[in-house]
Structure 1
Amino acid sequence: MEDAIARLIHGFRSFRNIYFSGDAELFDQLKHGQNPRILVIACSDSRVDPALLMQSAPGDLFVIRNVANLVPPCEPDTCHHGVSAALEYAVNALEVEHIIVLGHSDCGGIHALMKRTPETPAGEFLERWLDLAEPARRAVLEKLPDADEMTRRHACEEASLVLALENLLTFPWVRRRVEAGKLALHAWYFVIATGHLFGYDREHCEFRTIDPNLSLKTNKRS
């Protein structure tokens, strides 16, 4: 346990050496406020750190992380909405220009969603949270009734990303900025085993390889 904390402290020392000695100019700017152009909604999975995957510097990304990178629909009630609150701040206060919902392969949240039954719920809090992706699960089971478990799980990981894009548009201030051309929505899928990144192509309704120039190639994800 102490070794794990020691690694963090060592990492923080390196961070200070880089950004407060070697590149102090960056934090001289950031101490006055943040101005990220991109919001990333990512999974809490320890293997999928958006800043690390995209090699982003401090201040580049505004990040929301939760189990299975889910986006709730707009629900203006008296409950506590952490994702919606962060989304509202990013869109209305920071005026980000892009929202990327970043999913990944081998997602534990989606695995729990696909395995759950009334007799074996996913968990005390996780069960209710995963209800957000239930439409994706039902769609996959209907479309792929005879597929193996791994195929259906991957399909659900992708389907939940598309559902997240749909839920984003239920927020009036997101939809207004999208329709005004001031905000673009993206769904990206990272394959941990191969290091490949795929983006959702709305025109063809499928995920396609993202090349180094950030365009979508014609080959499908396999």
Structure 2
Amino acid sequence: MTRFLPEHLLTGYQSFLDKRLPSERQRLRQLAESGQQPKTMVIACCDSRTAPEIIFDTAPGEIFVVRNVANLVPPYEPDGEYHATSAALEFAIHALKVEHIVVLGHGGCGGIHAALSPSAEPLSPGDFIGKWMSLLDPVARAVGSNDHMTDLERHAALERIAIRYSIANLRTFPPIVALESEGKLSLHGAWVDIARGELWAMDPETGDFMRPLE
């Protein structure tokens, strides 16, 4: 290990220098000079297995990404507190003028597991995860109390319900409502199965998830 960065990161950076940078150099120079102009914002989970840039095979500057535990969007609350996701939304809508917002969930989400395990011991005295996942308390209780579902079924159900929940919360932001009504902004939901590499997209009319390429 070096004194500056973990060795595997430096090795990865060297690979970037040798393989990817030569083909991306001009694009990166243009982005540095003219700024970013992505058309799509992706709200994804922090999970290291679900990087949107890899799933959608995007180049630098193509998508504006914000990641948090369980890809949640809190409701619109301009209360003077710290709101990282809301701040990113504000920038994406007003400065970047994105045309699409995608809420991207995934299988095996640890945050969803926490929401379904409210009696579990917090990871730390601050219980930041528990407080964050309390956003889902009403639906988590309803799903968690369904004795006709297995644990895996409850988990998968809440992962997808959470996506619909976040999209509903997006529509509590007045600028999003206005832009959507004007046809200048579209909201989307998606869920990825990590083990199979399968992408499922939400039907905007029914809320059902289906394979978009089939």
| TM-score, scaled relative to structure 1 | 0.88
Structure 2 match to 1:134 = 137
Report the number of matched residues: 209
Deviation at 1:131, TM superposition (A): 1.0
Structure 1 match to 2:78 = 76
Deviation at 1:56, TM superposition (A): 0.6
Q: Is the 8 A contact 2:190 2:200 kept in 1?
A: yes
Could you tell me which runs of 5 or more consecutive residues in structure 2 were left unpaired when the two chains were aligned: none
Which whole-Å CA distance do the structure 1 matches of 2:23 and 2:209 have between them?
40
* 2:13 is equivalent to residue 12 of structure 1: yes
Letter in 2 for 1:46: S
Could you tell me which runs of 5 or more consecutive residues in structure 1 were left unpaired when the two chains were aligned: 212-216, 218-222
Deviation string, structure 1 residues 1-51 (Cα, Å, up to 9, x no partner):
66x922211221222344543332101210121001110000000100000
Structure 1 match to 2:46 = 44
Once superposed, what is the RMSD of the aligned Cα atoms? 1.8
Q: Is the 8 A contact 1:74 1:167 kept in 2?
A: yes
Which whole-Å CA distance do the structure 1 matches of 2:63 and 2:50 have between them?
14
Which whole-Å CA distance do the structure 1 matches of 2:19 and 2:181 have between them?
41
| TM-score, scaled relative to structure 2 | 0.91
Deviation string, structure 1 residues 103-126 (Cα, Å, up to 9, x no partner):
000000001110112x74565111
Letter in 2 for 1:109: G
Which shifted more, 5-14 or 70-79?
5-14
Q: Is the 8 A contact 1:19 1:26 kept in 2?
A: no
The DSSP-based 3-state class of the residue aligned with 1:134 is: helix
Letter in 2 for 1:130: M
Deviation string, structure 1 residues 109-147 (Cα, Å, up to 9, x no partner):
001110112x745651111100112233134246x3321
Deviation at 1:60, TM superposition (A): 0.7
Of 59, 62, 78, the residue aligned with 2:61 is: 59
1:89-128 residue pairs with structure 2 within 5 A? 89-117=91-119, 120-121=121-122, 124-128=127-131
Q: Which of the pair has the greater relative contact order for Cα pairs under 8 Å at 6+ separation?
A: 2
Which whole-Å CA distance do the structure 2 matches of 1:75 and 1:199 have between them?
28
Q: Is the 8 A contact 2:188 2:204 kept in 1?
A: no
* 2:192 is equivalent to residue 190 of structure 1: yes
The DSSP-based 3-state class of the residue aligned with 2:6 is: helix
Which whole-Å CA distance do the structure 1 matches of 2:168 and 2:62 have between them?
25
Structure 2 match to 1:31 = 32
Which whole-Å CA distance do the structure 1 matches of 2:170 and 2:115 have between them?
21
Deviation string, structure 1 residues 63-119 (Cα, Å, up to 9, x no partner):
0000100100000101111110011000111000110100000000001110112x7
Change over 3 Å in CA distance of 1:81–1:173 after alignment to 2: same
Letter in 1 for 2:128: F
Which whole-Å CA distance do the structure 1 matches of 2:177 and 2:57 have between them?
29
Taking only the aligned residue pairs, the percentage that are identical comes to 41
Structure 2 match to 1:214 = none
